[in-house]
Structure 1
Amino acid sequence: MQTTDSDMLARLVGDIARTDGEHSVQIPALMMYRCSAVTDPMPCIYYGLGLAMTVQGCKRVTLSDEIFSYGPGQSLVTSLDLPVVSYVTSASSAEPYLGLRLELDARAIAQLAAEMDFSSPLQTVPSRALSIVTLEEGLLDALIRLVRLLEEPQLIPLVAPLIQQEIIVRLLGGEHGPSLRHLVAVGSPSQQVAKVIAWLKQHYTENIAMDDLAIKAHMSPSTFRQHFRVVTGMSPLQYLKNLRLQDARQLMLNEDIDAGSAALRVGYESASQFSREYTRLFGAPPLRDIKRVRLASL
């Protein structure tokens, strides 16, 4: 049977990610993943600007009320921190889920976008900060070369940046291009929303008025809410709640504090409201959810 490029990439990733979990490599922006069984839906945050790819198995991501499934032959790009529900839908010990993620540099994207000639002007309407498209052959080839570079570590400092630059050029010239160009276009709605999200990540425990966020984005409240929902798939208030609840969960897991203390730490004034919203997001009250997560990790 003839080996395809997708098969080759799966073999390369599988040789590196030999155990379940996340695997760092010598290329700092690159991460490998392995999972030997399907997983339950798990709320999490897809952090930052990056290219993700399933090389074996299948994964599903829910963003608000939208469901995205992606497997081999598809590429996923996120341009902002996005609260999602993510789970592996196809995996086994014989054929584990294998994936990779490459962090992208916003400054490099802006510089290369300024140097490129595009066949069509950028539309004024912002794009969703998560997109899944068919993986182009040239992009797959570049990813294979980047992963194979790990076999020649002495070349990584000089060659990896060149391949990463090629990957960005291919992304900008492909179907992912509009969302990336929107993100780095000065004064665009996507860039203004990105700035607000960056501020929110630093101040989400504070008492925040949604209209104040609109002022930071230099938009009217209604326009800001509209653009924010287009980009992130949810309202600013939903986004803020997700940030708080995700952080509270990590505090309870990592610092072994109770739900009431965690609620206060992340900005909730009402413990009962925190418990209701936590249960709605994670599917169980805080105490039961934390026990479940700890048992699953044993």
Structure 2
Amino acid sequence: MDDLKIELLSSISRIICNKYPQTGIYNTNLPNLYISRFNAQRMIYRHFIHPTFIVFLISGDEVKGEFGDSKFSIQKGESLANNIFVPLSISLPPCSTENPILTVNVPLYRPYISEVLSHLTTTKNYTSVVNSFHTANTDKKELSAMLSILHLLDSKEDVAYGYELALKELYYNLLLGKHGDFIRGIFAGSLRNNRILEVINYLSKHYKENPNIKELADKAFMSPSNFYKNFGEITSLSPLQYVKKLRLYEGRRLILTEKYTVSHAAHTVGYLSRTQFSIDYTKIFHHNPQEDCNPSAQK
């Protein structure tokens, strides 16, 4: 890592550490821009974050995690681009107040990226990317654009226009960098893919409800049979299987991090039967949910 990149990472770290001295996941004044700081080793289970995003690891040792069943890892000075609509779990390495884990989570907005792409000429055809992720080294131009974004955190002025410009600068450098093909692939999807992704996004917010295939097909402007086929091609699951998986991952998060009892978690995520929840949970995670409970601290 060269001196300029080290200095840029240090500058970003100073801004974050000064503004956020405590452990937490912070929703900033900039829409859908999240900053995370962790001062101690732990496991993190989150139901969803912005489904199309890029996260930059600014400080700390290697971070490992899983999107559903897919594993990933990133090092300091690297970033991860993603458009996966499944829950996230992260294993943090040893860290401290003096050596925290710092990340910046940036949304990838289609309108802004489309505008930037309109100014970039290419003859290459990009393969549509659905439910995938990509890691890469963060270059100095990307970090410089990130620094411009973070300077807006304490602004007392209307930052909307400045944020838009700073995001476009970051997107421009990302599209020309190692994430370029992947990000282009995210936004090169067919109308069919985009409609299915809209339904997936809908399900991520309504997973407690029992999905009605006819209603979901109508949202995708498809016949039920066509919708069922296309949904399976993109997710490798039926809509019912997809919702079940979302419920189970969220149920596990509630048990592990919120200290819910098995019954409370089951009912919270939409199961009518604790027994059925336990059966499905065991099939996915290969152990009974009761084993994940802390009896002394249950709700």
State the shift of 1:272 in Å: 1.3
TM-score by length of 2: 0.77
Whether the 8 Å CA contact 1:183–1:190 is kept in 2: the answer is: no
Whether the 8 Å CA contact 1:182–1:190 is kept in 2: the answer is: no
Whether the 8 Å CA contact 2:22–2:37 is kept in 1: the answer is: yes
What residue in structure 2 maps to residue 135 of structure 1?
Answer: 138
State the shift of 1:50 in Å: 1.8
Distance in 1, matches of 2:16 and 2:141, equals 18
Task: Tell me, yes or no, if structure 1 residue 226 matches structure 2 residue 233.
Answer: yes
Match for residue 94 of structure 1 among 74, 98, 107: 98
Which runs of 5 or more structure 2 residues have no equivalent in the other structure? none
Shift in CA distance, 113/84, structure 1 to aligned 2, threshold 3 Å: same
Whether the 8 Å CA contact 1:79–1:179 is kept in 2: the answer is: no
State the shift of 1:114 in Å: 4.1
State the shift of 1:21 in Å: 0.9
Distance in 2, matches of 1:96 and 1:160, equals 26
State the shift of 1:72 in Å: 1.6
Give deviations 1:223-282, integer Å, cap 9, x for gaps: 5423224xxxx7755542232234446778999986446534534344212023345667
Give deviations 1:10-62, integer Å, cap 9, x for gaps: 22222222001122333233222111122136464333222211111131121
Whether the 8 Å CA contact 1:244–1:267 is kept in 2: the answer is: yes
Equivalence map 1:206-225=2 (5 Å): 206-208=209-211, 216=220, 218=222, 219=226, 221=228, 224-225=231-232
Whether the 8 Å CA contact 1:59–1:88 is kept in 2: the answer is: yes
Amino acid across the alignment from 2:153: L
Task: Tell me, yes or no, if structure 1 residue 263 matches structure 2 residue 270.
Answer: no
Equivalence map 1:1-298=2 (5 Å): 4-40=7-43, 42=45, 44-57=47-60, 58-123=62-127, 125-154=128-157, 156-185=159-188, 187-188=190-191, 190-208=193-211, 216=220, 218=222, 219=226, 221=228, 224-229=231-236, 239-248=242-251, 259-260=262-263, 262-264=265-267, 266-278=269-281, 289=292, 291=294
Distance in 1, matches of 2:152 and 2:26, equals 16
Distance in 2, matches of 1:137 and 1:293, equals 48
Count of aligned positions: 290
Aligned-pair identity in percent equals 24
TM-score by length of 1: 0.77
Shift in CA distance, 82/27, structure 1 to aligned 2, threshold 3 Å: same
Whether the 8 Å CA contact 2:45–2:253 is kept in 1: the answer is: no
Shift in CA distance, 59/255, structure 1 to aligned 2, threshold 3 Å: closer
Moved more, 198-207 or 31-40: 198-207
1:154 alignment partner, SS class: coil
Shift in CA distance, 226/62, structure 1 to aligned 2, threshold 3 Å: same
Which runs of 5 or more structure 1 residues have no equivalent in the other structure? none
Give deviations 1:143-168, integer Å, cap 9, x for gaps: 01211233544373442221012122
Distance in 2, matches of 1:251 and 1:65, equals 18
Distance in 1, matches of 2:260 and 2:92, equals 30
Moved more, 214-223 or 14-23: 214-223
Shift in CA distance, 208/140, structure 1 to aligned 2, threshold 3 Å: same
Shift in CA distance, 82/251, structure 1 to aligned 2, threshold 3 Å: closer
Distance in 1, matches of 2:285 and 2:100, equals 25
Moved more, 263-272 or 165-174: 263-272
Shift in CA distance, 203/36, structure 1 to aligned 2, threshold 3 Å: closer
Give deviations 1:180-200, integer Å, cap 9, x for gaps: 334444635542331220232
Q: CA RMSD in A?
A: 3.8
Whether the 8 Å CA contact 2:68–2:88 is kept in 1: the answer is: yes
